[in-house]
Amino acid sequence: MIYPQGYKSKLSQRETQYAIKTVKDTFQLKLAKALHLDRVTAPIMVTKASGINDDLNGVERKVHFTMKNIPGEAEVVQSLAKWKRMALYQYGYEHDEGIYTDMNAIRRDDDTDNLHSLFVDQWDWCRVITREERNVEFLKEIVQKIVKAIVETNDVVKEKYPMLGFEMSDKVYFITTQEMEDLYPDLSPRERENAVVKEHGTVFIQQIGGKLKSGKKHDGRAPDYDDWELNGDIFTWNEVLGCAFEISSMGIRVDAESLHKQLEIEGCLEREQFPFHKMILSDTLPLTIGGGIGQSRLCMLLLEKAHIGEVQCAVWPEDMRQQCKVNGIELL
């Protein structure tokens, strides 16, 4: 936990509620226009047997339960990385078309702190691409469009709430995880992120999931949604907390070749028996690019909040609640 010295929110709790709506209403329209996305309805649960739930880093426990009239188990979603691709296929979306949705998830194993909550809300988005677009340059084009939508949203928010002063550059610095390790071999992954983002402001850190030359991973990624060579995270510098601040995780999704390769690396080829994975391996599902953009994260950033609990209602340890209160952080 970080408790910024002398922190006081620039908005009251009531003003914050109005401002949250401004951020969400503005950004989702700009995102949809920039990436040609339609809003669709999303599930809060999926069946365990479908294999469609997001495995995140592959170790997080899912919230699961049995049902009265339906055999098997259901799982509360952790994100919709796989479901979106199925939806594009089912709904008949074609090249340069896509969807976005309000995704609400429970991640029971997340550590709660300034940036992390057990409740996750994000805009999950995905759109159809061609095989020729499965390259780094196309990925960078999409990143630039998302960053531009964030910067334009920030301009709208500051015009409505002139007491806010967050600045974000629309010039994105691109760097791979291996380049970061080469630059800072003695730093941890988080320390590398802080060093690079503090220097460059708006950063897209590429190629997350595979092992680096050191034999270690920069960060974990499930092997069956992002292509680890064609993915990354969007970061900016958070002046309130004095740290690198992740806004989005995204990437070009696996094709048959990269799916098999990554499942083999992680020792989980048994997943190829799930319906979702079979549809990728048989080239039934469309090739896609997609990601998640944190709703509360974006609100926290643009409204200059010190804790994500200032912009969302969730469950927090009691000692954290007490310490936040002492340090001027008003949790909802």
Distance CA 295, CA 313 (A): 13
Enumerate the domain spans of the chain: 13-326
pLDDT tens digit sequence for 10-60: 999 999 999 999 999 999 999 999 999 999 999 999 888 887 787 776 677
Q: Are 8 and 143 in contact (CB under 8 A)?
A: no
pLDDT tens digit sequence for 78-107: 888 889 999 999 999 999 999 999 999 888
Band the pLDDT of 110: cuts 50, 70, 90.
Answer: confident
pTM: 0.93
Q: What is the pLDDT of residue 111?
A: 87
Distance CA 206, CA 255 (A): 18
pLDDT tens digit sequence for 284-304: 999 999 999 999 999 999 999
Q: What is the pLDDT of residue 79?
A: 81
Return the CATH number of 13-326, one of 3.20.20.220, 3.30.930.10, 3.40.920.10, 3.40.50.720: 3.30.930.10
Distance CA 250, CA 150 (A): 15
Residue with tokens 């995905």: 126
Q: What is the pLDDT of residue 108?
A: 86
3-state secondary structure of 152: helix
Q: Which amino acid is at 175?
A: I
pLDDT tens digit sequence for 237-268: 999 999 999 999 999 999 999 999 999 999 99
3-state secondary structure of 165: coil
Strand ranges (E), the chain:
37-39, 45-47, 64-66, 73-76, 98-106, 119-128, 173-176, 203-206, 226-238, 243-253, 288-294
3-state secondary structure of 241: coil
The residues assigned a catalytic role are 54, 107, 122, 233, 246, 249
Q: Give the count of alpha carbons within 13 A of 141, CB side only.
A: 11
